[in-house]
């Protein structure tokens, strides 16, 4: 199991700073295995990743958080 990392972001960076998540972090945060993440991306039910360099991909943390909130909202609306 991956240990959560603490990232100190200087206040001078401001609110416009967007955090990128690599695949192991996305798996840890969502609980989804790699194959499911990519299947859901292909079906349009999970945020798409993007290249941050020639060999590395990442997800926007705010998009992954929005996906989580939508999942919780759908659960709560189904229970009502």
User: Could you tell me which residues come within 8 angstroms of residue 66 by beta carbon, excluding any fewer than 6 positions away?
Assistant: 47
Q: What domains are there in the chain, each with its CATH number?
A: 19-79 (1.10.238)
CA–CA separation, 71 and 16 (whole Å): 25
pLDDT above 70 covers a percentage of the chain that reads: 80
CA–CA separation, 5 and 80 (whole Å): 36
Q: How confident is the model at residue 13 (pLDDT cuts 50, 70, 90)?
A: low
| Helices 61-79, 23-30: crossing angle, 10 deg rounding | 20
- Average pLDDT of 39-50? 98
Taking the whole predicted model, whether its pTM rises above 0.85 is answered as: no
């Amino acid at each position: 199991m991956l240990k959560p990392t603490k990232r100190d972001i200087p206040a001078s960076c401001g609110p416009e700073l967007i955090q990128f998540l690599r695949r192991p972090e996305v798996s840890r945060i969502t609980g989804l295995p790699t194959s499911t993440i990519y299947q859901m991306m292909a079906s349009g039910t999970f945020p798409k990743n993007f290249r941050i360099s020639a060999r590395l991909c990442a997800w926007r943390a705010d998009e992954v958080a929005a996906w989580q909130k939508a999942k919780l909202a759908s659960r709560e609306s189904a229970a009502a």
